[in-house]
Each structure stands twice: as C-alpha cells, then as structure tokens.
Chains A and B, each alone.
Chain A
Amino acid sequence: AQSVTQPDIHITVSEGASLELRCNYSYGATPYLFWYVQSPGQGLQLLLKYFSGDTLVQGIKGFEAEFKRSQSSFNLRKPSVHWSDAAEYFCAVAISRTGKSTFGDGTTLTVKP
C-alpha cells in the first residue's frame, strides 16, 4: 500500500527566510503528488500538483516543489516566507482510478516576525 511521510511535525522560520518542507512517499509506480495547505478552521486548498513532465512544479502563493524519483521525495519550497504562510501543510499521493488520496500527517509552519 502507498504511504506518505512528512518527517517534520512542526517547523518555525523567520519572516523572509527560505522554507523547505519534506515529503517522502512509498509507491511502486509513478505517483501523483499533491501539496495542500490548511489555514486554521478552514478546509484544505491545493498549492500544487505533479503527475508527469517537468519535475519542478510551480504552485500558488509562490510555492514550488521538486519531484525526485531516486529519493522518493516531493519537497515543498518557498524562497521567502510571509507571515500569512503560517498554516498546516499536507503532502498527498493519489494512485487509483477512484482518485483516493493518502495524506501525510502534516507539518505545522510557524512564522516568526
């Protein structure tokens, strides 16, 4: 069965600093990968997705992620974090025709002024 691991439960960065959130997946074939963001009290919003082609994908709000097949990773990055980026971030993989997704446990981002 597929699985997703987000090794960092909580990350704190200073406003303006760069950010990298880690995601590792386990699946035998090419996965379809997603990053979602959840603000407090809200549902999840898609940041970006990868399913083929260029391994560096751009998303909304200045985020990007790089798919590395050799490392089974799909890390999320942002060059300069804004205070409004404080939220919980989820990596997910979808593999089946039904579109069922497996989510990681999430990484909570705190932004220091």
Chain B
Amino acid sequence: NAGVTQTPKFQVLKTGQSMTLQCAQDMNHNSMYWYRQDPGMGLRLIYYSASEGTTDKGEVPNGYNVSRLNKREFSLRLESAAPSQTSVYFCASRGQGWVNTEAFFGQGTRLTVV
C-alpha cells in the first residue's frame, strides 16, 4: 500500500516559471490537503478538498491553484513561481471520520525558486 505519493521530490524553478506538483492517494480518502512547511512556521494550509469536486482556500492560497482531478488525485499549480514560494510542500489525505481520523502525509516536495 503506497499511501500518499508526491511527485517530484525535488524541483528547482526560475522566477516566473510554472509547474504542477502531483499528489495521489490509494486509501480511498475523501479529503485531501496541500501544506507548505517553512522553518520555524510549522505547516500552513494552502488549499484543501473535502471531497471529490470541491476545493477551498486555506491560510495561504495566494499564488497557487489546485485541481481535484478525481478521488485519488489532488494537484497544486504554481502559475508564476516566486522566491517566496521556496518551501517544502506536503500533500495529505484523511478518511471518512473527518476530525477524529489522522491525516496521512506524503514524503514532501522540496521546491527552490531562484
């Protein structure tokens, strides 16, 4: 069972370039999330999808877009990368029990924007 799979694991972009971070889960979870992790700031929610077909903004959505392609996949797009978006990005998913179930995390994507 792979759990939550993120691609790529590492990426370097030039300012202004675009890219899409991919996330897929094989646990039949309804909810999926994108977080960014910066030193000393914990994890901050960028966007989430409570169920297939729905997406909502989190704490720090500016500069990002998301697509819930199907129940398994939730992608994060940077249309015009900026150095402030240098971070480690984590995708997570959660099952049917909403708040009282744990979130399962991917291994992360380390993104550097130069």
User: How far is the CB of B96 from the nearest CB of chain A, in Å?
Assistant: 10
New A-B contacts (19) at CB < 8 Å, excluding given A32-B100, A105-B40: A32-B99, A42-B107, A43-B105, A45-B105, A49-B102, A90-B42, A90-B43, A94-B98, A94-B100, A95-B99, A97-B50, A97-B99, A98-B31, A98-B50, A98-B98, A99-B94, A99-B103, A100-B58, A104-B42
Q: Interface code B47-66, partner A: CB below 8 Å = 1, 0 otherwise? A: 01010000010100000000
Number of A-B contacts (CB under 8 A): 69
B48 touches A98 (CB 8 A): yes
Complex CA gap A51/B101 in Å reads 9
Cα–Cα, bound, A102→B45 (Å): 8
Cα–Cα, bound, A32→B33 (Å): 18
Of B31, B90, B92, B101, most buried by chain A (CB within 10 Å of CB) is B101
- Least CB distance, A13 to chain B, in whole angstroms: 21
Contact call A99/B42, Cβ cutoff below 8 A: no
- The verdict on A99 contacting B43 (CB below 8 Å), with A43-B108, A44-B90, A46-B102 known, is no
Bound state CA distance, A4 and B59, in angstroms? 14
User: Does chain A have a CB within 8 A of B76?
Assistant: no
Which residues of A does B touch, CB under 8 Å? 4, 9, 32, 34, 36, 41-46, 49, 51, 90, 94-106
15 inter-chain pairs at a CB distance below 8 angstroms, sorted by A residue, are A9-B40, A41-B108, A43-B105, A43-B107, A44-B43, A94-B100, A95-B99, A96-B98, A97-B50, A98-B48, A99-B31, A99-B98, A99-B99, A103-B42, A106-B42
Chain A residue at smallest Cβ distance from B103:
A101
Contact among B48, B101, B105, B106 with A100 in the assembled complex (CB-CB below 8 Å): B48
User: Chain B interface: which size bin?
Assistant: 20 to 34
Residue on B nearest A48 in the bound complex, by CB: B102
Shortest Cβ gap from B2 to chain A (Å): 12
Closest approach, in angstroms, between the C-beta of A25 and any C-beta of chain B? 13
Name the residue on B nearest A42 (C-beta): B107
